[in-house]
Amino acid sequence: MHILNSLDKAPGGNGDRKNLDTCSIVIFGASGDLTARKLIPALYHLFKENQMPATFRVVGFARREKTDAVWRQELRTALEQFSRTHPVDNAVWAAFADNIFYCVGDLTDDAAYSKLEARLSAFGDPALRENLLFYLAISPSQFGEVVEQVHRSQLLKREGPGWQRIVVEKPFGHDLASAHKLNHELTRYANESQVFRIDHYLGKETVQNILMFRFSNSIFERLWTRESVDHIQITVSEKIGVGERGGYYEEAGALRDMVQNHMLQVLSLIAMEPPVSLEAESVRDEKVKLLKSIRPLTSEDVARQIVRGQYFAGAVGGQPRPGYRQETKVKPDSNVETFAALKLFIDNWRWSGVPFYLRTGKNLPMSASEVRIQFRPTPNVLFAAQCGTQLDANALTLRLQPNEGISLHFNGKVPGMSLGMRPVRMHFSYDSEFGAYTPEAYERLLLEAIAGDATLFIRHDEVETAWKIADSIRTGWEGKPLTNREFYAAGTWGPIAADDLLATLGHTWHEPQVIK
Ligand code: BG6
């Protein structure tokens, strides 16, 4: 199973290649941003680190006419910009680029798929024609067409020979109904086991470490219940605004862009029950179970438990930022949320009564993702006279990015004659412990898809359950314009309403720490 295999690839590990099958990776949408920014750099690094199959091909499929040589050159130029290591290694690139090919064609044209088929057959090795990873870096509205076409041209089969897999990107639909439709379109010609839905958060080392941390450390696992945990906070804050993505963002908003996928994924890993094994289905069964135990939200609950926000003009790190309504392709009276904060309850045995606070937003003071497990306070009978009635409660922070690490916060006596106390922390940093080896999420995800391990991908019922939660929130917001308490200045930690949300239970948000 990959979580354990991935240990081999950690620094100090032996870097062994998994026994990966010879295969071709066919990228639909080869001229797009994702291919140049993420997919090719990820494949290049996998190749460089000897993680790719011994024999493989990458075939780009797109409409623009160009030769293999021109496409290789374009990718080489993009790699200069998007590679996570510099300089790009010329010899490695040359050897890698020999495996890259371009196939011109329109997604709706039958003949183009015959050409693709011919191209794959011409590689000579039957495995390069039969073991196929189709990466759909295209609009979801085109998924159905492509899947049908590759099926018709005999490139996609439910039962061998070889294996064929389809990798799809987010957004996977924009609500439950559209996600359901997409699931149906994908599984008309493929089995669910052939579909790999990406949430790039699951490719992050620190997100994968959540399960390892929880289930391999008895001191923490036994505290992971309502008896010890007071509440949990998950923050994914971003310094960037919506920038050039105004058009997309107007349709998405923070709820669809971040909460439905990344935030609920992190929540499910933090809160799920131990799986019966590390097999993909066992892990995903538990994640779905967890999502299903989130208490459903009525419109009244949404008004009480969910806060949205939108930034107005301000400054982030001293840099002036326009308001959301002034961004390109954004309506001047838009009510789209650039911030969302949620108070959720998980109605199961372990978490009954424990609030889970989630928040995410654009144009916040810093970019940081972290999970804070706040433990119950001790009875404050001994130190109240010296330290006041409020002793800091213990907390465990899992810093997902940047400055990846884990901190344990507790109280310590200030040295000296008095009984003064203050919070102190023990900190584990990935960098200091393991060195600065941080593979990009896409490297791990592509590798897992090539290996056929679906653990880090979202199952159909998981994506639909998450949409059900997002839809109930959207329904609660429908027809309600933003109020004054829901606006925040760019560069602040979100609207006042988000603070009110926690204050009702006497809680406050903990800002991610600046870790140097
Ligand atoms: C994407 C969202 O899925 O995740 C973006 O569409 C967001 O709006 C990004 O900025 C955040 O990802 P990361 O890896 O930078 O935390």
Q: Is the pLDDT of residue 119 over 80?
A: yes
Quickly count: other Cβ atoms within 10 Å of residue 305's Cβ: 21
Ligand 1 neighbourhood includes 199 CB (under 6 angstroms): no
pLDDT in tens, 276-306: 999 999 999 999 999 999 999 999 999 999 9
pLDDT in tens, 191-205: 999 999 999 999 999
Which band of pLDDT confidence, cut at 50, 70 and 90, is reported for residue 515?
A: low
pLDDT in tens, 136-194: 999 999 999 999 999 999 999 999 899 999 999 989 999 999 999 999 999 999 999 99
Angle at 466 between CA 464 and CA 471, to 5 degrees: 90
Average confidence (pLDDT) over 326-336: 97
- Quote the DSSP letter at residue 325: G
Query: Quick one: pLDDT at residue 418?
Result: 81
Q: How close is the Cα of 156 to the center of ligand 1, in Å?
A: 31
Q: Identify the weakest region by mean pLDDT among 340-344, 418-422, 423-427, 509-513.
A: 418-422
Residue (of 197, 192, 208) closest to 170 by Cα position: 197
Average confidence (pLDDT) over 20-34: 96
List the CATH code of the domain at 3-171.
3.40.50.720
pLDDT in tens, 239-289: 999 999 999 999 999 999 999 999 999 999 999 999 999 999 999 999 999
Q: How close is the Cα of 34 to the center of ligand 1, in Å?
A: 13
3-state secondary structure of 515: coil
What's the chain's average pLDDT?
A: 93
Name the active-site residue from 262, 427, 507, 510: 262
Q: Which atom of ligand 1 is nearest to the CA of 201?
A: 14
Query: Quick one: pLDDT at residue 419?
Result: 79
Has 262 been annotated as catalytic? yes
* Selection from 8-17, 426-435, 437-446, 493-502 with the highest mean pLDDT: 493-502
Ligand 1 neighbourhood includes 257 CB (under 6 angstroms): yes
For every residue of 9-44, DSSP letters joined together read HSTTS--PPP-PPPEEEEEETTTSHHIIIIIHHHHH
Which band of pLDDT confidence, cut at 50, 70 and 90, is reported for residue 19?
A: confident
Ligand 1 neighbourhood includes 205 CB (under 6 angstroms): no
Ligand 1 neighbourhood includes 238 CB (under 6 angstroms): yes
CA distance 362 to 460: 28
Q: How close is the Cα of 199 to the center of ligand 1, in Å?
A: 10
Query: Quick one: pLDDT at residue 516?
Result: 62
CA distance 432 to 85: 19
Ligand 1 neighbourhood includes 486 CB (under 6 angstroms): no
Query: Quick one: pLDDT at residue 382?
Result: 81
Ligand 1 neighbourhood includes 169 CB (under 6 angstroms): no
Tokens coding 387 = 């330290």
Share of the chain above pLDDT 90, in %: 87
Average confidence (pLDDT) over 434-448: 88
Query: Quick one: pLDDT at residue 378?
Result: 87
| 249 backbone φψ class: left, alpha, beta (φ>0; ψ -120 to 50) | alpha
Matching residue, tokens 């059900």: 468
CA distance 194 to 156: 10
Query: Quick one: pLDDT at residue 383?
Result: 80
List the CATH code of the domain at 203-503.
3.30.360.10
Cβ atoms of 198 and 170 closer than 8 Å:
yes
pLDDT in tens, 365-424: 999 999 999 999 888 778 877 777 677 889 999 999 999 999 999 998 889 988 788 889
Q: Is the pLDDT of residue 15 over 70?
A: no
Within the chain, all domains assigned CATH 3.40.50.720 are found at: 3-171
Cβ atoms of 20 and 12 closer than 8 Å:
no
Amino acid identity of 148? Answer: E
- Quote the DSSP letter at residue 458: B
Within the chain, all domains assigned CATH 3.30.360.10 are found at: 203-503
Q: How close is the Cα of 204 to the center of ligand 1, in Å?
A: 12
Share of the chain above pLDDT 70, in %: 96
